[in-house]
Structure 1
Amino acid sequence: MLGYQVGDDPRQKEPLHANRIEDRIPQLNGYRVGTEQDLFTALSTEERAEFMLISNKAWEECRKRFPNQGELDGHGDAFRHAFWNAMLTRRGPERAAKYTTAHEMNADTKPYTQTFESMDLHNNEVGRNVAQETSGQSLDQVADAIERAVRQGRTVVVDAQGNLQYSDQVAGDRTIHSDMKGTTPSSDLP
């Protein structure tokens, strides 16, 4: 499973330009590194706002469907990444894959970083696949399909020992960050 990896983007976060209106809207421009920032900046202001709304919808559904089940690296996180990708895929599968892969290029010195990155990349791909499988269905039906994917083990989570496991093999309260219940702030970055 650790075959899912991307290189780190060596560029630093770029400062916001206080004179542009889109840079003064909270979280509309956010803090992104290198390639991800380039892709985000290429979007129109409306597309950035839509992107933020999609991301916040992923957080909202994650908390509704997997309350207190690992918003970071647990079942909620698996759902959130998959649903985020499914929603973005509806607006362009190639763009979704390119952006969400760039999102994982953020260099991080925390332990288990490669495991967390692998988890997110795998779950992103599951979400894009589910989006294609549910083409033409309502957003609620897509969310239901993503929830089934998590419960049936198509997604992966990080267990309490820091190992990548299929989501149906680990209890919702037995993931590495299950003690962070409800503490992760919503943002425009899944």
Structure 2
Amino acid sequence: MNSSGFPSEDRVLTDLGDTFVGSFIKAVDGAREDFDALRKWKPGWFANFTNRFTANFLHERIWDRLTRAVEGTANIKITDREPTREIRSGLQYLIRIKRHSPDNKIAAYPTEGGSLFWSNSTLTLDGLEAYSLALGYEWDADLRAMGDAVLSFRDGKDNPIWAVKLNSDAATATGFSYVPVSPARPELDLSGITAEQNAEEESA
């Protein structure tokens, strides 16, 4: 666990288990194939698809593929009652499927329940901590294309603490590999500090 008290990506991936993570990656890869098949079948339709439609279509395909793969697995509970769709892994993790922008932002309705879900600030007794995770995929809005599978942990909807890209990898013991993606950070204007340092050096 890192200094802030939040779980690290290594810990979360270990806790979720290789089978679950592998199933999720396959669900994203399969949804990408479904999306490409739809686009090839009706290219004229695709040109007029709204962002909401494509997001909903991909969510449906990932959800269907993932839940069919993990249903019946020990310690996995699936909740599918509109408008809530989430997966609980053990007692620690609540998971929702979300599309990620290049800076790891996600879209969610600003309801009180949604804000609480993504805040990861609910007080619990030591050893009974529960965390919310966003499993999803990178989305290139310009190309209207899916990227890699993504897992992110956030302190609020718009504040990713960390994110990792996931890919199947038969050469590894886990069957997958991951690459950390640095969350977007505000650009700091250091010109004033640099100018001050230069002035001090010149006067020394």
Q: TM-score, normalised by structure 2?
A: 0.33
TM-score, normalising length from structure 1? 0.35
| Bigger fraction of residues in helix | 1
Larger Rg: 2
Q: Which has the higher strand share?
A: 2
